[in-house]
Amino acid sequence: MESFNKYINRSMSYWKASRHDDTPQREEGKSFLETIKEYPTLDFSDTYDLDLENYDFNVGCDVELISYSTWKKYLKIGHANIPARKCKYWNDCAIERLRKKDGDIWEKPNKYQYWKISYIQLIDQTKDFLYYPSKYMKQNVGNMTYEPHHKKQGWNDSIHSTFISPNIFDANIVERWRIIGENEWTQVNLDQ
C-alpha cells in the first residue's frame, strides 16, 4: 500500500506520547463498550498493555486519542493508521516477537492469541470516536503502510513508522460515534 505522507499529520511527538495520560479515553471507551456494545465488565490494565480487558471472557479493547488533523487525513486517503506494534491483539500468533534496543529479538507468549479485541480512536477537538470491531481488525491486520515522515516527530525505528491500515470507508463495519452526554452516544455518518 502506498504511503500518503504528503498529507499533513500532526501526530504526537515521541516525547509527548510517552507522557500522555489516556485515562479519560479509557474511561469513555469502557463506558461505551459496557453500555452500547454490551461487553462484560472491563478492567483497566497496565500502562503498556491492552487498555481495557476482561480475563474471564477473553475480551478487551485498545483505546487511542488521534489528532483532528489525523482524522482529516483518514478522510482524504480512505484508510486509518493503527500502530503496527498492536498487531499482537489481532494476528492470532502464539509468540510475540519484540526487538530490544540492542537489536536482539525477544520472544514471549502472546496472551491475546485467542482474545476478541476491539479498537477505539477518539478524535481530539471533537466529541467523536471510531469503533473498530475485533473481527474487522483480524481481517485487516496484514494491511500495512510505512510512513517515514514520523521520524521528524522522534519516532526513530521502522516499527513506529509502520501501521495497520484498514480501508475504513469500504464497508459499513467501522462505526463513528458522537458523545452527546454522560454515558450517551449517537452513531453518525463515518465520512462527515
Domain boundaries, the chain: 14-188
Distances in Å between the alpha carbon of 135 and those of 41, 65, 119, 132, 173? 20, 21, 11, 9, 10
Q: How many residues does the chain have?
A: 192
CA 152 to chain centre: 21
Provide the pLDDT for residue 66.
92
Mean pLDDT of 46-65: 91
The pLDDT tens digits for 76-104 are 988 898 988 898 999 999 998 777 777 78
Provide the pLDDT for residue 35.
97
Provide the pLDDT for residue 16.
58
pTM of the model: 0.83
The pLDDT tens digits for 1-53 are 333 333 333 455 554 555 667 899 999 999 999 999 999 999 998 766 899 99
Residue 175: which pLDDT band, with cuts at 50, 70 and 90?
A: very high
Provide the pLDDT for residue 155.
44
DSSP per-residue codes, 35-101: HTS-PPP-EE--TTS-SEEETTTTEEEEEEEE-HHHHHHHHHHS---EEGGGGGGTS--SEEEEE-T
Provide the pLDDT for residue 46.
78
Distances in Å between the alpha carbon of 156 and those of 34, 49, 64, 151, 152? 37, 21, 20, 5, 8
Check: CB of residue 123 under 8 Å from CB of residue 129: yes
C-alpha cell at 48: 503498556
Distances in Å between the alpha carbon of 16 and those of 13, 58, 100, 130? 5, 31, 22, 22
The pLDDT tens digits for 122-150 are 999 999 999 999 999 999 998 877 766 54
Who wins on pLDDT, 4 or 72?
72
